[in-house]
Structure 1
Amino acid sequence: MSIGHGGPSDAPGANPPHGTPQPPTPQGHFGPPPTPTPPPAAAPAPAGPPSAGLPAASPPWAAGPTPPGAPAGPPSASPPAAPAFASPPWAAGPPPGGGTGGQGGRPLPLPAQPGTPRPTPDTAAPFSAPHTPTPHNPYAAPHAPHAPQGPTAQVTPTTPTPDWSALADAATTRTRRKRLLYIGGALLATLTVAALVTTAIVSSGTSPSDGKNTSLPSPESLPTDPGAPTPSFSPVAPPPPPDPKEFISSAEKDKAPLSADTLFPGNSLTLEGRTYPKGATNRVTDCASGTQGNLGGILNANGCTQLIRATFTKDGAAVTVGVAVFPTEAQALKAKNQVKDGVASLPGSGVPTFCRNGTICRKTANSYGRYAYFTVSGFTDNKRNVTPKDKNVFALGDDAAKYTFLRIVERGRVQASAAATADTTASS
């Protein structure tokens, strides 16, 4: 069905209005609804064009047809003042010709407004006079918006609360099941390993009851991996032997036998390929009796206990070595530092008297441990004095002093070695 302006078939009164007309509520109006005005009766439209003497057509904003019983006449000469704002399109009255368009001149229904029920054909009514909107006052307090109308909003159902107790029981059950599986798996693995070990033992040996050898192979017969590192053990070093000087520095430790034969053994003195025949030897407890000058008094004052002498000769020269023995090393050192004069030469056993009657001889003094040793060397003719040019006399005296020192050191070494052996035997 097409909608257009009314034509010859849209005669006024052809489709009378149904029911009592209801004024529509204009959109945007927040005040009380206007008082409904009863619609005027529809005036018969002229069959043709209006004559020149007829009044002009009513403006769109004029009221509708004159209601029944009201006198018909032209509208007032002074039309009402135009509203401040243009009327909405649905407020205009029916167009000239008696219809609003559509079939049979029936007024078109208004579009549905939010929150307003749409009128049915039985309740549809022609539009009433337009409502004059109130001009907007920018200084007025704002209107509170209307509460939303229309159908009730649908409430979305909430998710039900889970059963936490049931979930906890399920988790506990799963944990217990996993624990049982782990325990069962470990037990099964243990039984499997035990069975394998038992099988290997049974297959590799026999029980002792059958009388056969069930011992494991010796370490020598086991296979070795040439690439594997071999353990290394550092040998435990034995404790160092005692210092030999400890045994010759004090009479408490120096217990080895001491005499001219133990200190100067053999018939000669041999040192670095040089040999000197040995002459007479002597040992006295009165240290001063084997000295010359003030040396005897110094030895006795420092506690000398004995004096051992020995003579060696070579090529017309001779040397006598005298070893003074003290209780401690400190006493021997003090006597050596105070020395004056020297030891007396010892002739005999084929060696004539030398270094007597005022002849000049070479003298030395030294000490080691609790021993102080002295030398006197010169010519055996007892006439010549020793000078720095007499190299053979100096060499003879130096070799005798060095030999004496080595013999004292050897005495301490022997005693230290014997003590170390005794300690090892006791510990084992």
Structure 2
Amino acid sequence: MSFGQGGGYGGPGGQGQGSGFGPPGSGGPAPDWSALADSAAAERRRKRRLWTIVGGALATVVIAGAVAAAVVTTSGGDDDPSSSASEDRISGAGSESGKGDPSFSSVAPPPDPKEFIASADKDTAPLTVDSFFPNAEITVSGHTYERRATHNTRDCASGASSKLGKILTANGCDRLLRATYTREGTAVTVGVAAFADEGPAARTAEQAKGNLESLPGQGVPEFCRATACRLTSNTLGRYAYFTIAGYADGKAVTADDAPTSEAVRDTGAYVYRRIMDRGREQALKSTEQ
């Protein structure tokens, strides 16, 4: 197809004559410009009406979709915690008994046991041997120990070497409780020193020098007096606690000695639990008052 003169469409290989729109004076008949304008205007009006109808239908679909979404979001269900039905189930409203269960928000969390062993102001339970060493036999990590001796004194320095005794006294130790346990020839003494609060207890464990005095009794001779033994020191709340472990026959402890390592670890863990139990018992009593 080729373009003819005057901008019209011509036939194959020829010029456009009379079939296209030509400029004035091109020789073709003059177009009816008024009729053409009216026809174009009518076509534009028809298209506007069509788009208005289609657009309105589309708007209706969008609005209907939005309403459906709103219904789904607010209806709630068994897994929807925001629904009123879920809230009623949690609070127990409408239960068959008529009383309902207490809501979760109304149940106060239990007190922290560590708050009750942090200072003497709250830790008011008696400082007795039975509080810390109540069992004649204990089993920790599969190892069973027998209690052979106990001691309770307000003179903390009397139950420790001179170096550790001075540190206990300087930090205001109020009481020292000790117990000795044995297992297959191993002897271990564990001691708990009580202070006014956490500060001096932590300082004592950090400054610890020398050792706890071992406690003989019930078939256990003096041990760890002139030979190498294993020592530990630790702290929990207002308490510092110590262990010293060796052999009842006086044999020296070596660095890689397993029985004494187990003895200090096991009895230390036992005392830790006893102190925590002390806090838990007092915390529980506070909720009953």
TM-score computed with the length of structure 2 as normaliser: 0.64
Distance 2:178 2:164 in 1: 15
Distance 1:321 1:294 in 2: 17
Quote the offset at 1:256 in angstroms.
1.1
Give the one of 293, 299, 303 matched to 2:162: 293
Distance 1:306 1:391 in 2: 31
The AA in structure 1 aligned to 2:104 is V
1:365 aligns with 2:233: yes
1:233 aligns with 2:102: no
Q: Counterpart in 2 of 1:157?
A: none
Distance 1:365 1:381 in 2: 24
1:410-421 equivalences in 2 (<5 Å): 410-421=277-288
Q: Which runs of 5+ in 2 are unaligned?
A: 1-84, 92-102
The AA in structure 2 aligned to 1:367 is T
1:1-400 equivalences in 2 (<5 Å): 231-234=88-91, 235-237=103-105, 238-356=107-225, 358-382=226-250, 384-400=251-267
Distance 1:266 1:239 in 2: 34
Q: Secondary structure at the match of 2:90?
A: coil
1:407 aligns with 2:247: no
Bigger relative contact order, structure 1 or 2, given CA contacts below 8 A and separation 6+? 2
The AA in structure 1 aligned to 2:222 is T
Q: Secondary structure at the match of 2:110?
A: coil
The AA in structure 1 aligned to 2:284 is S
If you compute each CA radius of gyration, which structure gives the higher value, 1 or 2?
A: 1
Distance 2:209 2:232 in 1: 10
Distance 2:281 2:237 in 1: 15
The AA in structure 2 aligned to 1:270 is T
Distance 2:188 2:276 in 1: 21
The AA in structure 1 aligned to 2:166 is G
Deviations 1:214-253 (A, max 9, x none): xxxxxxxxxxxxxxx6843342341111110111011011
TM-score computed with the length of structure 1 as normaliser: 0.44
The AA in structure 1 aligned to 2:260 is V
Deviations 1:158-210 (A, max 9, x none): xxxxxxxxxxxxxxxxxxxxxxxxxxxxxxxxxxxxxxxxxxxxxxxxxxxxx
Q: Secondary structure at the match of 1:343?
A: coil
Quote the offset at 1:266 in angstroms.
2.1
Quote the offset at 1:369 in angstroms.
0.3
The AA in structure 2 aligned to 1:371 is Y
Distance 1:340 1:308 in 2: 18
Q: Which runs of 5+ in 1 are unaligned?
A: 1-228, 423-428
Distance 1:364 1:257 in 2: 25
Q: Secondary structure at the match of 2:177?
A: strand
Contact conserved, 2:244 with 2:264, CA < 8 A, in 1?
yes
Q: Which one has a larger percent helix, Structure 1 or Structure 2? A: 2
| Identity percentage of aligned residues | 48
Quote the offset at 1:268 in angstroms.
1.3
The AA in structure 2 aligned to 1:412 is G
Q: Secondary structure at the match of 2:157?
A: helix
Quote the offset at 1:274 in angstroms.
2.4
Deviations 1:305-334 (A, max 9, x none): 110000000111100001110011111001
